[in-house]
C-alpha cells in the first residue's frame, strides 16, 4: 500500500465527518444560510493567502528545478484561480475584502500549523501538511458533483472542486507525497503522518467554524 493510501485510510473517519458535516451537506442541497457561507469565504480567503505562501516555501525547499517549477505553479494557481474565485464570491455576496480581517480562532490555529511546518519541516512534511486541503476538497467535489443546489454561489463552488483541472493538481501532489515518503527516513515519515492527520482534523473544524460563525470572545458581533 502506498504511503498516501495508508494516510487516507487512517484519516477516513475524520474525512467522513467532513462529508457529512451540515455545512457541506446544506451547501450541496442549497439550504446553507448565506451568512454562514460569507463567514466561510472570508476566512477561506485568508487561509488561501497563507496556503499560497506555504506552497512558495515548499518550492524554495525543492532540490530540483522541475519540482520547484511545479510547486511555484501551484502557488500561482492558488493566487489566480482560488483567490479569483473568492473575489467572485465576495462580489456575489455584496461584501468587500477587509485588509484588517481577523481570522476566526480555528482558522488562526490551522494557518499557524501549516506555516510552522513550512518553516521547520522538510519538503515532504510540507506536502503532507497541505495535501488534505487539496485532496478532501476534490473528494467533496466528486461526491457532490451531481447535486443541484440551484444557488449561483453554491453551484459554482461545487463545480470548481469537482472539475478535472483541480483533480489533476490533487493527483500530482499525491504522487509527489509518495515519492518523497519513499526517500524519507522513518522519523520523517512519522512527522508527515502526524501533519496530515492534524490538517485533516483542522479541515473538519473549519466547516464547524463557518457553520457556528465562530469568532474570538473579544470581538463584537
178 CA to centre of own chain: 19
3-state secondary structure at position 156: helix
- What are the C-alpha distances in Å from 143 to residues 12, 24, 147, 158, 175? 14, 11, 9, 10, 22
User: Residues 164, 135: contact at Cβ < 8 Å?
Assistant: no
| 203 among known catalytic residues | yes
| 205 among known catalytic residues | no
CA distance 180 to 219: 42
Question: Which residue out of 203, 205, 214, 219 is catalytically annotated?
Answer: 203
The set of residues, in sequence order, having a beta carbon less than 8 Å from that of 188 and lying 6+ positions away, is: 122, 124, 125
CA distance 204 to 186: 27
Question: Which residue out of 82, 133, 139, 205 is catalytically annotated?
Answer: 133
H-only helix segments in the chain: 3-10, 12-19, 22-29, 34-60, 65-77, 83-93, 105-120, 123-143, 152-161, 164-183, 186-211
Residues with active-site annotation? 133, 203
Amino acid at each position: 500500500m502506498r504511503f498516501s493510501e495508508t494516510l487516507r485510510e487512517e484519516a477516513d473517519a475524520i474525512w467522513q465527518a467532513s462529508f457529512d458535516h451540515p455545512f457541506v451537506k446544506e451547501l450541496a442541497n442549497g439550504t446553507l444560510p448565506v451568512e454562514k457561507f460569507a463567514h466561510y469565504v472570508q476566512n477561506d480567503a485568508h487561509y488561501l493567502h497563507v496556503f499560497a505562501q506555504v506552497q512558495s516555501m515548499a518550492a524554495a525547499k525543492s532540490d530540483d528545478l522541475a519540482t520547484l517549477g511545479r510547486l511555484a505553479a501551484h502557488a500561482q494557481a492558488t493566487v489566480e484561480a482560488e483567490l479569483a474565485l473568492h473575489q467572485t464570491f465576495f462580489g456575489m455576496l455584496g461584501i468587500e475584502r477587509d485588509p484588517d480581517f481577523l481570522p476566526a480562532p480555528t482558522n488562526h490555529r490551522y494557518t499557524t500549523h501549516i506555516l510552522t511546518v513550512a518553516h521547520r519541516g522538510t519538503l515532504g512534511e510540507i506536502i503532507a501538511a497541505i495535501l488534505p486541503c487539496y485532496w478532501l476538497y476534490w473528494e467533496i467535489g466528486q461526491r457532490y458533483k451531481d447535486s443541484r443546489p440551484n444557488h449561483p454561489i453554491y453551484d459554482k463552488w461545487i463545480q470548481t472542486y469537482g472539475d478535472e483541472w483541480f483533480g489533476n493538481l490533487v493527483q500530482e501532489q499525491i504522487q509527489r507525497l509518495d515519492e518523497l515518503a519513499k526517500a524519507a527516513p522513518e522519523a520523517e515519515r512519522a512527522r508527515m503522518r502526524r501533519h496530515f492527520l492534524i490538517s485533516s482534523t483542522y479541515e473538519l473544524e473549519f466547516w464547524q467554524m463557518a457553520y457556528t460563525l465562530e469568532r474570538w470572545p473579544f470581538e463584537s458581533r
